[in-house]
Chains A and B, each alone.
Chain A
């Protein structure tokens, strides 16, 4: 069968009329049906793509960093969101977004606004992509009459415009919509120019191929379709022509590595591209559904609620592929087969072996939809033929009704999915970023279950980290947690991370997000005496966070003022004494002092830092406060004779308190050395251990009050430090009480920036302009020279 699909390469001119044409009655001018279908399709796609686009879907890492990079390009030609140029993807889509943002004057706008603006461009690109899918289908449905052809196109665009996968990634400021529109345009050109000379086909299709590859390389399989089509037809000459077009496009893509070479970063480019090659081929699995520990079927199942109709259409597209493979094909059918082969070949490789990122389905859907609809049309036609052959001439054949019901089912379910995901607010990331900006002190460090970069660009100047465990975060004094349950599936945090935070913290804010199953901000307030919370080792001791989420704190150091760190450790460290309430200080010639939650340490003796004997004074000067704190009775009068070791032992009768005081196992005999050390550390007991009304057993010593819950052997010092300050027993200078800035957090491997590199994309733009001039100019010159040669030959033959 000869290729007959439209538009034909050349159209014959109608002969001039040779006789007077009778006047015809003019019908009232009306829009042609094609225009109505295009407008209707664009309107439908416009609604599904743009409705509530500012608030749904929730943003994600790629969208945030890509828009940030586009803003940088628009502002200062810098294609990066770090300090190194972005070589993972080609620059064209970023240039397009940068131009768009510049046009709207949003290069310096808040990132949320820029993301919404960038989404509008990609959504518009996706709408045109839908129309291009319709146009491609119209070309392939060459045997349909005008009306049926329009119905088929309308059905294809309707399915595309409500397809959950295309909606998901078309409504985000991602590369996919721009790459798809470029790839589909290339296919349209390849079909239209399929019969044209090499000098026409190669430059035009090659240029489109090159621009597609400069948008996203993974779309290479789509623009390879013309080659596959010619190979299927075993038309080696045209196959050569198609390969030429493809290679011509690859030549244009070489501007990308040329840019890297211009920046002097060839090695970095090669490294990133090699890594990408490893990922695409599956040698390296760090993202997507084929990662170790991620089940492909599980991922499909969990996304079924949203993507059900996409999966159905993919399945039926696959059936269309098998159907065409088992038939002899020619013309449009062969084209469709080639398109399905490249699309499903890529998909099959990705599923079986390669990196399977969800957004790759975007490249599969157009062929799936066209294949499904055209196969359904063929089935309906066959049924209609069969019914007619049997003499059944119903007004509306059952096959048509079945196809209509199928269409209604697919678009109905897809529309329901659209309504579920895109009508309600689904912008939890933006909302929680706004909440943090407004309500959370700027000094606060926040950890998230997502990649930190999802929030760092939305919250410039804020410290955002990703700790894998709740304990890891709290150990560094980080108390604020942004949690989404869906992130846990990604494996950045332990599976029990959210439940650990929820069981120990309190909810500050919660925002709806269908994308992330909700996003919440939690605050965990650890036990102040937890030795594994809020402590950062620094030279000479520790820094303890005491204010907010790593907003500030005090150091406990072995320094000029005294060995406070050693003294603190000697008393049991944070677990027993609690955190510092002040820095160490000296005032009025008094020994250096540092106030802790459970004691006041002073550097006043030959043994170094010890607990200052303030308990008796506190009880005497502030009996009300002493009683209110349910501190135990003091039975040894002030100025009483010193106790013997035996008397000390007799007074510490509570086994747990005795063990903590003497540092000996509970019930074990205490050597004299242990008693001596204990008395030096905390002073002598001032009274017996006493169960207090709050259920805690307490015993007063000269330097502090040891306590334990009635049902536990965990002993620590009662929090008398602040009471001592309030009572005026110690008067730290104001500066000592002001929390100091914490030391920098250890840098996570993912947050480490490399060496600063040039990031200007200007050289690429210049070379692209030169390349485009060459790609347009050179073929034109060659074409004109060939035409001139032909004319001369004709003229020469005419003369002879």
Chain B
């Protein structure tokens, strides 16, 4: 061995030292342990058991699903409207009550449709507003992808009667519509709104007078 090779002589032994071959069973066992741990991790990840599942409802006051393509809740901030569009496929917003300039501007920026139903807390949507609402919902959800988001000032005001009308037009019986509301929500519906609901329910069932304004409105939009 010349001087140059002697300089590299320690290279013949690993600097780390202290390693040796394992019996085959041990190797297999360790490989299995590693694979099982990794598989478990992947399983947990893919199952979503650790992460909370994708929320069915947006994190907003009074959030509830009206039907598969309609949500109702309280007001949404600008960021929440963006998340509603991106995570809940909201393509149309119905403001029940007063709409702010910001919301109109944000929905325009987001490319989301906007309909305003200007009524007070105790009013029911007029037949004309019902017509506009149904047309808007149908147009927004026509492709089977879009969702409509209904809201008022706090999620427990006139949005309830508006959402109920959407369900009635979907031929959900009035008793079922009311049963889906909480006691507090049912109590929040004013007598005028109750009357309107009964009128819409009768018009949908064809049991009311043909000249009833809601019946006329619903005939206008068709089944």
Contact = CB atoms under 8 A, between A and B. Distances in A.
Report if A and B associate in a common complex.
yes
Interface of A: 1, 4, 140-145, 147-149, 152, 281-283, 285, 292-293, 322, 324-334, 336, 348-349, 352-353, 374-375, 377-378, 380-382, 384-385, 388, 393, 395-397, 400, 467-472, 474-476, 494, 500, 531-533, 535-537, 542, 746, 748-749
A154 to B, nearest CB: 13
Given A352-B45, A532-B104, A143 B22 contact: no
Nearest to B46: A352
B154 to A, nearest CB: 16
A461 to B, nearest CB: 25
Contacts, number: 166
Q: Specify which of B4, B27, B44, B101 lies most central, judged by the most chain A CB atoms within 10 Å of its CB.
A: B101
A395 B5 contact: yes
Interface stretch (B64-72, B75-83, B118-126, B182-190): B75-83
A328 B21 contact: yes
A352 B45 CA distance: 6
Contact of B105 (A375, A400, A532): A532
Interface stretch (B6-14, B167-175, B191-199, B209-217): B6-14
A49 to B, nearest CB: 27
Contacts of A474: 105
Contacts of A378: 14-16, 19
B198 to A, nearest CB: 34
B41 A353 contact: yes
Nearest to A371: B16
Instruction: Give the top 6 A-B pairs by smallest Cβ distance, nearest first.
Output: A471-B109, A144-B15, A143-B17, A475-B105, A378-B14, A141-B15
Q: Specify which of A324, A400, A468, A535 lies most central, judged by the most chain B CB atoms within 10 Å of its CB.
A: A468
A554 to B, nearest CB: 16
A536 B101 CA distance: 7
A381 B12 contact: yes
B20 interface: yes
A527 B79 CA distance: 24
Contacts of A400: 8, 11
A147 B7 contact: yes
Interface in B76-92: 77-79, 81-82, 86-87
A331 B1 contact: no
Contacts of A385: 12-13
19 contacts: A1-B18, A145-B10, A147-B10, A149-B15, A328-B20, A330-B19, A348-B41, A352-B44, A380-B11, A397-B11, A400-B8, A469-B105, A471-B108, A472-B105, A476-B102, A494-B109, A531-B101, A535-B101, A537-B101
A472 B27 contact: no
Interface in B7-53: 7-22, 26-27, 30-31, 34, 38, 41-42, 44-45, 50-52
A170 B110 CA distance: 40
Nearest to A5: B17
Contact of B16 (A281, A285, A333, A533): A333
Interface residues of B, number: 50
A327 B19 contact: yes
Contacts of B101: 475, 531-532, 535-537, 542
B78 A326 contact: no
A333 B110 CA distance: 58
Contacts of A537: 100-101
Given A148-B10, A149-B15, A352-B45, 16 more contacts: A1-B18, A143-B16, A147-B7, A325-B30, A330-B18, A331-B17, A348-B38, A348-B41, A352-B44, A377-B14, A384-B12, A388-B12, A395-B2, A395-B4, A397-B11, A537-B100
A4 B105 contact: no
A349 B38 CA distance: 9
Given A475-B105, A532-B105, A328 B22 contact: yes
A643 to B, nearest CB: 34
B106 interface: yes
A744 B167 CA distance: 40
A400 B109 CA distance: 61
